[in-house]
Each structure stands twice: as structure tokens, then as C-alpha cells.
Amino acid sequence: MAQLYFRYGAMNSGKSIEILKVAHNYEEQDKAVLIFTSGLDNRDEVGFVSSRIGLRREAIPIHDDTDMISIVRQQTNRISCVLVDEVQFLNKEQILQLTRIVDELKIPVMGFGLKNDFQNELFEGSRYMLLYADKIEEMKTICWFCERKATMNLRVDESGKPVFTGEQIQIGGNDAYYPVCRKCHTNPPL
């Protein structure tokens, strides 16, 4: 039975490497997958899922006008799974498209992304994944500064100083964000 999965975690929790691993596992069994990623993420190159350990793979970029259902329907191979990286950047309508892929096309969809932003507010895509997903799983990592589990993302500026105001979306990696626990987010030891 097809289901909608949401696998979330703080920065550096291995979300992108996990999506690449899942794709590999399906394809090793000759099962076709489609990989989507947000068109906003340009850290490596738009239209690629890239992990910090150097693995990368082409993906279909999702923009505001992307019709994921049509893209899935147009595939000549039977799609066994749809994988979506950076799902937090999707809007409500796009999350509802993912539910239709599951419910109407009977294809499992796995979305990977952040749950909350640097101000500890939910992203729109994450909010609707939490509401609509059949299965929700946290991907864990440790705090940048201590041994606790990281549940938040601390934004830092070019000099490494914490930033607590600004636009919700600012694309960046270890140069701009640290995975942190609640205590270190409230009182960063910087």
C-alpha cells in the first residue's frame, strides 16, 4: 500500500545521503524512482541532490508551476517510488500533489527535509507534511556544541555570530547553519 512518508531532521542529519541511498536500493532491484528537489536550493547546482560527503545526483527541480503529478504520469517506466529532497520549501498545493501521487497513482512518496527554521518556526512544506504524512520519522544528529540531540538550526553570519532575525529562507550549509539542541539554540556558546 502506497503511503506518504516525511523524514525530517536538523541540518547535517543525513537527509540528502539517505535519499540517495534509498534511490540506489530501489534501482539495485531494477525498480524505477523519480527524484525531485526544490528549485530554490542552489548550493551545488539547481536540479541536483548533493550530500556533504560528495555524492550527488540529478533531480527534477520543483518550482511554483511544477506539476509533479503530470511528470509522474508521463514516465514510460513504472515508478516504484517518488523521492523529494528539501520538501520544507514546497507549498501546501505541492504537498497536496504528493498526496494525490500516493492516493490516486498508488505510488509511495518519501519527502525529506527540515521541520523548523532558524527561528524554530515550521516551514510551510513541513507543516503540511506533518499534517498529511502517513508516516513521520525523525533523522537524528548531535548538537554542534554539545552531546545532546540536535532539534533546531542555528543561523550564523559570515563571522560565525548567531543570527535570529531575517527571511525564513536563506540557502546555506555549514557556512550558514549549525544543528543545535534547544539549550544551545537559546544560549549559543559562540
Confirm whether residue 86 is marked as ligand binding: yes
Distances (CA, A) of 91 to 28, 61, 97, 122, 167: 32, 14, 10, 12, 16
Query: Looking at 58, 86, 121, 124, which residue is catalytic?
Result: 86
Confirm whether residue 81 is marked as ligand binding: no
Confirm whether residue 92 is marked as ligand binding: no
Confirm whether residue 181 is marked as ligand binding: yes
Active site (annotated) includes residue 58: no
Q: Quick one: the chain helix, strand, coil %, rounded to 5?
A: 25, 25, 45
Confirm whether residue 161 is marked as ligand binding: no
Q: Where are the beta strands (DSSP E) in 39-174?
A: 48-50, 56-58, 60-62, 79-85, 109-113, 135-138, 152-156, 162-163
Confirm whether residue 15 is marked as ligand binding: yes
The binding site for ATP comprises 9-16, 85-88
Show which residues are catalytic: 86
Annotated binding site: 9-16, 85-88, 143, 146, 181, 184
